[in-house]
Structure 1
Amino acid sequence: MTSEASPLRQLSLDQLRTRTSEKWRRYPSDVLPVFVAEMDVLLAEPIVHAITDAARRGDTGYPAGTGYAEAFADFARKRWGWDGLAVERTTMVPDVMQGILEVLDLVCDRTDAVVINCPVYHPFYDFVGHTGRPIEEAPLGVDGRLDLDALEDAFRRAASRGPRPAYLLCSPHNPTGAVHTADELAAVATLAGRYGVRVVADEIHAPLVLAGAVFVPYLSVPGTENAFSVLSASKAWNLAGLKAALAVAGPAAVDDLARIPWWVKEGPSHVGVTAHIAALRDATDWLDALLADLDHNRRLLTDLLDRHLPQVRYQPGEGTYLAWLDCRALDLGDDPAAVFLERGRVALSPGPIFGTGGAGHARLNLATSPELITEAIRRITDAVARSTADRRSAGLQAGQDIGVVELRQPDVEGL
């Protein structure tokens, strides 16, 4: 069986534990990791061929040329119907977050505020905070989508703090998986124009959109001429260890883009760029197979939670391979992932690190086999049962009724 057929069903747990990356080395071997955004896949064969061919030829120098931008432009045209990714308005950057920092330095000062939608990919807080820029939060709506009223309030506050505010848009959104619509993005562009906000769109998850949903590149929306997008093939083809990304400027931001230093443009890995080009040009069949696997895993997770943890609220996202779990009804405190790790030996990403709105939540990585998702839910169910039993015991010892959450006992055969 090739890696193009069901990419998420190729590797056993024993094989995965031979890996030395963060996902499989942060925790002891008895912990099942479903946290960091790494996928449990073999690389698509065209990528393997491109990397090994470069190594055989000793083609491991510095990156050069516009091949990455040309490959992304072709992919965007075929995949999203977008002809607006103009090669002359792009530059390579080391990775998406480093590219975002460079673009922020182009569009705003270190004293200008940056707006983010929370809960959101937690490095937004770390990277922006490291620059000293103040952050203005615009919480998502209860549906996990953009709340335009909250966004306008945040734009207004940001504009009052300095003359060049910026907005870091996560599209598709991590961790909720929301894929922003054309109408939502048009409203964002209107608000940004009204308050003089420069938009920088993190579109790293753009290729990971389910059938039935439509990814809309932010720069394809009217009114985004002075905005930026930062893209990469890394998430969709599991290439985080082969760093490369692309910064794309709107037509009115070309002069800003030209100010990115040459050493930033030489920051990507040349082998990484080679791998990303192979992914975009020759591994789209593999991507389609991956998306089918992810769709199955979303439905599997929904079924498992309905049967064994009905108190956990999960709204399957239209994009990414991440599941945002609302565990507040389990009464496990602000960080249920800590309970899952201690009592169930399963590692999820803690909700509080994603900012306001993250308390009581946890993020689960769906990019693994159905068997490991099933095992993760079995462990979470066991952790909840243990925690509930301990609280009941503590309440009985204290002679108090602690209002234990009713929990369906796990169906061991079903898990």
Structure 2
Amino acid sequence: MDPVPRTAPDGPDDPDPLRRLSLDELRRRTSMKWRTYPDDVLPLWVAEMDVPLAEPVVAAITDAVALGDTGYPAGTAYARALAGFARRRWGWDGLVVERTAIVPDVMLGIVEVLKLITGPGDPVIVNCPVYPPFYQFVTHMDRRVVEAPLGADLRIDFAALEEAFRRAVADRGRAAYLLCSPHNPTGTVHDADELSAVAALADRYGVRVVADEIHAPVVAHDAGFVPYLSVPGAEAGLSLMSASKAWNLAGLKAALALAGPAAADDLARIPEEVGHGPSHLGIITHTAALRDGGDWLDAVLRGLDDNRRLLDGLLAERLPAVRYHPADGTYLAWLDCRPLGLGDDPAAVFLARGRVALSPGAGFGTGGAGHVRLNLATSPELLTEAVRRMAVALA
């Protein structure tokens, strides 16, 4: 392999957080992204961003540690910060602090919410290909997954969704729909009409909607994220949100469960001890991010827009057979590598021959084989090098 750029292209003062850290600095990290593979592998797989933390986050955690403020979480500061963020970013005034609960993280929050509205053996509908832990957590808690595949345009196929709803309620009459919004891995941002149609369909079949909205802040401004609970008919819905993805805080665990007005009694039944699971430092930093980290997030969003365009051009030049539709949400790219003839697991080929780590598509369920998920949240230089290595793997 050719030498990899090891220094940040424009230095620590570059306004784009994605350009500030050198490869040497990144390799000093001890998180999953940087410790799973040997140092000759470029890791563009797990959802960690190659960015320094936002200054308000650094200040909040530094102050807390200096005070020894590392006890158990309490209060509604996180929910109030999210409500303010929702008003500013999405024009949504409907986040009611009293209808929220702190949970350890989004996936564990989903588990707790599903426990409230489903029982053992009940079906949970998902739009595949979708985030692999949906399958893992749902089946581990003794529920069964029912797939409603996305359409060829990578958007919700409402005929498939209705058929999945019909099958799901045929036996027991109780089912949940785990909606990924924005969608992981495709980056699709569901619009208000689509979400309203989801709510109407769910009401018709008596299916409860649980929306995973962890990537909600990572949406291009001109696309416009729409919270599920904001659409007509979603009153019985539940949502999970977090600052985790947008501000790179996965190691500082904290999330919020939100309930529509008709689901408030359900959320009120969540066990009190669940609220002990989030990290107090996590809640402090997530609160600071939502309240004061908007400028930093805007800079990241601009960098991601640049990287989407860069990736589109690089693939056209180096891997023109790969199908890629730049999306408005998340920092993930869903690449259809089936025309390359690499079989069901092209990620294994890119790793073995190109020394670049991507997420294998097969783990995302039906429709994922032959695909890879690539993490765009890195510097343009590392993204360019990754695509070069992918092309070399085919030589």
Shorter-chain TM-score: what band? over 0.9
Q: 1:368 aligns with which of 366, 378, 390?
A: 378
Q: Distance in 1 between matches of 2:279 and 2:374?
A: 29
**Separation of aligned partners in 2, 1:95 and 1:144:** 27
Partner Cα distance (1:191, 1:370) in 2: 42
Pairing 1:182–2:192 present: yes
Query: Cα deviation per residue 1:365-385 (whole Å; 9 max; x = unaligned)?
Result: 000000000000010000011
1:5 Cα deviation after fit: 1.4
Q: Secondary structure at the match of 1:82?
A: coil
Query: Cα distance, 1:211 vs. partner?
Result: 2.6
Counterpart residue number, 1:153: 163
Q: Is the 8 A contact 2:83 2:93 kept in 1?
A: yes
Give me the CA root mean square deviation: 0.9
**For 1:262-341, what aligned pairs fall within 5 Å after superposition?**
262-341=272-351
Tell me if structure 2 keeps the 8 A contact 1:3–1:42.
no
The residue that corresponds to 1:400 in the other structure is none
Moved over 6 A (4+): none
Partner of 2:106: 96
Pair 4,269 (structure 1): closer, same or farther in 2 beyond 3 Å: farther
Choose the corresponding residue for 1:85, options 83, 95, 105. Answer: 95
1:4-403 to 2 correspondences below 5 Å: 5-385=15-395
Q: Per-residue CA shift, 1:156-214, capped at 9, x if unaligned?
A: 11111322100000000000000001000011011100110000000000000013101
SS at the partner of 2:394? helix
Deviation at 1:59, TM superposition (A): 0.5
2:199 aligned partner, one-letter code: A
Q: Could you tell me how far apart the structure 2 residues matched to 1:81 and 1:366 are?
A: 27
TM-score by length of 2: 0.96
Q: State the one-letter code of the partner of 2:68.
A: G
**Residues 289-344 of structure 1: per-residue CA shift (max 9 Å, x gap):** 00000000000000000011100000001100000000000000001000000000
Give the partner amino acid of 2:302.
A
- Cα deviation digits, residues 143-163 of structure 1 (max 9, x gap): 111101000010011111322
Q: How big is each residue's C-alpha offset from its partner over 1:79-107, in whole Å with a ceiling of 9 and x where there is no partner?
A: 00000100000010000000000000111
Equivalent residue of 1:176, what SS?
Answer: coil
Equivalent residue letter for 1:32? L
* Residues 14, 20 of structure 2: 8 Å contact kept: no
1:43-102: CA deviation from partner (whole Å, max 9, x where unpaired): 001100000100000111000000000000000011000001000000100000000000
C-alpha distance in 2, partners of 1:36/1:4? 25
Contact in 2 for aligned 1:3/1:286 (Cα 8 Å): no
After superposition, what is the alpha-carbon deviation per residue over 1:366-415, rounded to whole angstroms, capped at 9, x for unaligned?
00000000000010000011xxxxxxxxxxxxxxxxxxxxxxxxxxxxxx
Name the count of aligned residue pairs: 385
Q: Distance in 2 between matches of 1:54 and 1:2?
A: 25
Aligned residues of 1:205 and 1:320 also touching (Cα < 8 A): yes
The aligned residue for residue 4 of structure 2 is none
User: What letter matches 1:212 in structure 2?
Assistant: D
Indicate how the Cα distance of structure 1 residues 20 and 77 shifts in structure 2: closer, same or farther if over 3 A, else same.
same
C-alpha distance 83-2 of structure 1, shift in aligned 2 (>3 A): farther
Unaligned runs of 5+ in 2: 1-10
Per-residue CA deviation, residues 89-133 of structure 1 (Å, 9 max, x unaligned), is 001000000000000011111121000000000000000010111
**Structure 1 contact 139–150 (Cα < 8 Å) conserved:** yes
Q: Kindly indicate whether the alpha-carbon contact (under 8 Å) linking 1:111 and 1:162 is maintained by their aligned counterparts in 2.
A: no
**CA distance 1:3–1:37, shift in 2 (3 Å):** farther
Q: CA–CA distance in 2 between the matches of 1:152 and 1:384?
A: 41
Distance 1:364 1:10 in 2: 20
Q: Following TM superposition, by how much is the alpha carbon of 1:3 offset from its aligned partner in structure 2, in angstroms?
A: 6.7
Aligned-partner Cα distance in 1 for 2:113–2:105: 12
1:266, distance to aligned residue in structure 2 (A):
1.4
The equivalent of 1:407 in structure 2 is none
SS in 2 for 1:143: coil
The amino acid of 1:372's aligned partner reads L
Tell whether the 8 Å contact from 1:3 to 1:43 is kept in structure 2 after alignment: no
CA contact (8 A) 1:113 1:161 kept: no
TM-score after normalising by structure 1: 0.92
Q: Tell me, what secondary structure is at the counterpart of 1:115?
A: strand
Letter of the aligned partner of 1:289 in structure 2? A
Q: Contact 1:93–1:245 (CA<8 Å) still a contact in 2? A: yes
- Which structure's CA Rg is the greater one? 1
Counterpart amino acid of residue 246 in structure 2: A
Structure 2 residue matching 1:310: 3-state secondary structure: coil
C-alpha separation between the residues in 2 aligned to 1:40 and 1:349? 17
- Distance in 1 separating the partners of 2:41 and 2:284: 34
Query: Given residue 242 of structure 1, which amino acid in structure 2 is its aligned partner?
Result: L
